[in-house]
Amino acid sequence: MAQTFDAVVVGAGFAGMHTLFRLRQMGMSAVVIEKGTDVGGTWYWNRYPGARCDVPSLDYSVPWDPELDQQWNWTEKYSTQPEILTYASHLADRHDFRRDIRFSTTVTVATWDDARGLWQVETDKGDRFEAPFLISAAGALSEPNLPDIPGIGDFKGELYHTGRWPREKVELAGKRVAVLGTGSTGVQASTAIAKEAAHLYVMQRTAQFSLPCASPPLTEEDHAELRARYPEHREWQRSSYAATSMNIDTPFGAHAFDDPPEVRFANYEKAWGNGTAALVGVYADVSTNAEVAQEVSDFVRDKIRAKVKDPATAEALCPPQGTYVGTRRIIIDTGYYEIFNQDNVTLVDLRADPIERITADGVKTRGNFYPLDMLVVATGYDAVTGPLIAMNITGRQGVRLADTWADGPHTYLGIMVAGFPNLFTITGPASPGVLANVIFSIDQHVEWMCGCIEHMRATGASTVDTTPEAEAEWNAHAMETVASSLRIHDENNWYMGTNVPGKPRSVLVYQGGLGFYRDRCNEIAEQGYRGFVFGYADEKVTA
């Protein structure tokens, strides 16, 4: 017998909690289905050593609990995973969220019943739920991308994907450890593991640009200063490009070559020391003009050479020519390049010496064998579409989401898919999602979605859907926003889906900026939800 609710929400991270908070405010009943044993989403799963947020703590706090802003003290500029998880857990306690969450439960099937105008959802626990609305808050970076390397199943040591790190303490002392992957995760994990492991092999296929992130303690004054103007600051975040403060002096939209070299380099230097993605935001054309990008990227390469003592290792750590700072999500670190000056750390350059196979006790490359006690797989995610496809969603006329997206996802505003009525995809494909401070991308989506549901209630609509034409218009616009960006050319980039072998290249993350996106969504709502199609219960009866 199915249990009925007004909404089934999938995921109890920040998106799921915000959704539950708002649905309750609207007097709607909801069940939240969560794979993990507690709240936190990304911050629940990514408990690998060194995990830390790349958005400043004071910006990375939920805007829907302003009272908590007045009480909560973050300890340092960029929060570590345990502290963010404590914050998420505190939110759940404060709002008594857990009573509506089914933990350790995974959605296995979700099917739209057109005759009854509701979603039927099944879980691995054998539960059956029915609700008019299905809301995915399953996250953008939650479905691990596991490398298909011959022999990986034969490894007899400890094997962990960073996004599925065990809850129990993992002992590193005395062990030979390899970290496979040098994205944000691999860089953070390697920096921390190097402090404890007997030996660390950093297995790098493509060197990336990492910027130093000074994370000084936050003082009472830091909090007091912002507490006095939190409402204004939150509003600024909502309307800004990425909802995070960069502290750069150059005016918004400035072009690099309008400044003489000494001014440009002084600006790069200041942004470099800033510890944020400021180096990409310092001039408007860092991510669009290859000549500017080349100059900034060479500036970083020189910094790497200055930090790493062994010249051959330094050269191998320099990202290849033709790749630029900021085409992938920027990495920030707390002393990554410096670990290569330690005796217990070896860089394994997989471009020069590729992996042949993994054996029971190590990694065999073409020219070497690396004996290991532990293999840490930091190979990223099947981003944005992966978590949605994993739910086995079927819409109108038996069309499966996996099939309709076989050549790449199509959505309207990143939040709705034609033929999948009443399914809202928070931080879905071609929405700003993780390109901005994701808490604020979530905020926009949840608030807009609730506005749409309120509109439906006020007008008596029972379903909302979109059309292939609206999707085509949105996808063309999303493509336009990336067309001038150097990002589009970058290989193996999860922003474009090209990090997963066989996944079609598409715009998974809207590049026009959060503020602009918000205005566009609001405008569409004001135009009577242009591009959306509402259905009414009595229509269904006559159909």
Q: Are strands 355-359 and 393-394 parallel, antiparallel or unpaired?
A: unpaired
Contacting ligand NA7 (CB under 6 A), which of 61, 79, 80, 182? Answer: 182
183 binding ligand NA7? (CB under 6 A) = yes
Residues 431-450 that bind ligand NA7 (CB under 6 A): 434
How many CA atoms are closer than 13 Å to the CA of 525, on its beta-carbon side? 18
Q: CA-CA distance, 242 to 276, in Å (whole number)?
A: 12
Which listed range, 180-188, 361-369, 447-455, 509-517, lies at the site for ligand NA7 (CB under 6 A)?
A: 180-188
* Structure tokens belonging to residue 157: 């040591």
Q: CA-CA distance, 486 to 290, in Å (whole number)?
A: 7
Residues 202-231 that bind ligand NA7 (CB under 6 A): 205-206
Contacting ligand NA7 (CB under 6 A), which of 494, 517, 529, 532? Answer: 494
Which listed range, 128-136, 181-189, 294-302, 312-320, lies at the site for ligand NA7 (CB under 6 A)?
A: 181-189
Q: Are strands 107-113 and 118-123 parallel, antiparallel or unpaired?
A: antiparallel
Which listed range, 92-100, 179-187, 221-229, 454-462, lies at the site for ligand NA7 (CB under 6 A)?
A: 179-187
Q: Is the Cβ of residue 149 or residue 525 nearer to ligand NA7 in the bound state?
A: 149
Q: Report the residue number whose CB is nearest to ligand NA7.
A: 183
Say whether 317 sits in a helix, a strand or coil. helix
142 binding ligand NA7? (CB under 6 A) = no
- Residue 160 CB, nearest distance to ligand NA7 (Å)? 13
380 binding ligand NA7? (CB under 6 A) = yes
151 binding ligand NA7? (CB under 6 A) = no
185 binding ligand NA7? (CB under 6 A) = yes
- Label each residue of 462-500 as H, E or C: EEEEECHHHHHHHHHHHHHHHHCCHHHHCCCCHHHCCCC
Contacting ligand NA7 (CB under 6 A), which of 4, 90, 147, 288? Answer: 147
Contacts (Cβ under 8 Å, ≥6 apart) of 90: 68, 72
300 binding ligand NA7? (CB under 6 A) = no
Angle at which helix 230-239 crosses helix 438-459, to 10 degrees, equals: 80
Say whether 161 sits in a helix, a strand or coil. strand
- Entry field: residues in the chain: 543
- Residue 543 CB, nearest distance to ligand NA7 (Å)? 44
What binding mask, one character per residue, do residues 313-352 give for ligand NA7 by CB under 6 A, x or -?
A: ----------------x--------------------x--
Over the Cα atoms of the chain, what is R_g?
24
**CB-based contact 516:510 (threshold 8 Å):** no
Contacts (Cβ under 8 Å, ≥6 apart) of 25: none
Which listed range, 75-83, 129-137, 406-414, 492-500, lies at the site for ligand NA7 (CB under 6 A)?
A: 492-500
Which listed range, 131-139, 286-294, 376-384, 520-528, lies at the site for ligand NA7 (CB under 6 A)?
A: 376-384
Contacting ligand NA7 (CB under 6 A), which of 190, 215, 334, 379? Answer: 379
Picking from 231, 303, 237, 215, the residue whose alpha carbon sits closest to that of residue 265 is 303
- Residue 186 CB, nearest distance to ligand NA7 (Å)? 5
Q: Read out DSSP for 22-68?
A: HHHHTT--EEEE-SSSSS-THHHH--STT-B-SS-TTTSS-TT-HHH
Residues 497-516 that bind ligand NA7 (CB under 6 A): 499
Binding site for ligand NA7 (CB under 6 A): 141, 147, 149, 180-186, 205-206, 329, 350, 378-381, 434, 492, 494, 499
